[in-house]
Amino acid sequence: MHRPLTALEDSYHLVTSLGGAAALVCAVLFLSWVVRLRDNARLLSGRAPKYAGLWVYAGWIVPVVNLWFPRGIVADAFRGSAPERRLPASVNVWWGLWVLGMLSGVGIVYKDSTDEIIARAYTEVWPLLASDAAVVGAAVAGAVAVRAVTAVQVARMREAAGPRVPQPV
């Protein structure tokens, strides 16, 4: 027999569900961006990407490989798009915070049941908040990285297209 959930516990389930849905939407959008990023880099550089297309998806879920492949795919595409430029710092910040958030969250969240996590929120909230802060920081840095890498590709595509000659009216 379980006691009725408190309002805080009900809220936790609601926030977790909404957070999971938002994460799914963000993941789909991010992966579609990475696929386009790789395609653009291949066209701009004329060479095949370092990582096979399968790794754009599997690189996130295969243990150990997921610690470096996703960042490597973005970095490889950036270098293919602009070999003379340095990788934006936001890419490394994004990846460092993402790995930190995931590794710190694995021990906190995935080894326990939802009820144990809720109970821990009453007594040991700081590790949960620190892990979440790293993931939120990674999301912000990831948005900055997407903008920086995309801007470089757009500029390179404009260069490749050549100067526009105005047409007589």
Looking at every residue in the chain, the average pLDDT score rounds to 87
pLDDT average, residue stretch 62-87? 93
Burial of 86 (0-12, 13-18, 19+ CB in 10 A): exposed
Q: What is the pLDDT of residues 137-161, one digit of tens each?
A: 999 999 999 999 999 999 999 888 8
Q: What is the pLDDT of residue 88?
A: 96
Rounded to 10 degrees, the C-alpha dihedral 69/71/76/77 comes to 120
Q: Quick check: 97 and 137 in contact, CB under 8 A?
A: yes
d(CA 99, CA 114): 22
Query: Token pair 């960042």 is at which residue?
Result: 71
List the one residue out of 77, 78, 59, 79 whose CA is nearest residue 69: 59
Residues contacting residue 49 through CB under 8 Å, at least 6 positions apart: 38, 41, 42, 73, 76, 77, 80
Q: What is the pLDDT of residue 59?
A: 92
pTM (two decimals): 0.80
Is residue 68 classed as helix, strand or coil in its secondary structure? Answer: coil
Per cent of the chain over pLDDT 70 is 90
Q: What is the pLDDT of residues 87-139, one digit of tens each?
A: 999 999 999 999 998 888 765 555 667 777 767 777 777 887 888 899 999 99
More confident of the two residues 4 and 120: 4
Q: What is the pLDDT of residue 119?
A: 74
Q: What is the pLDDT of residue 69?
A: 94
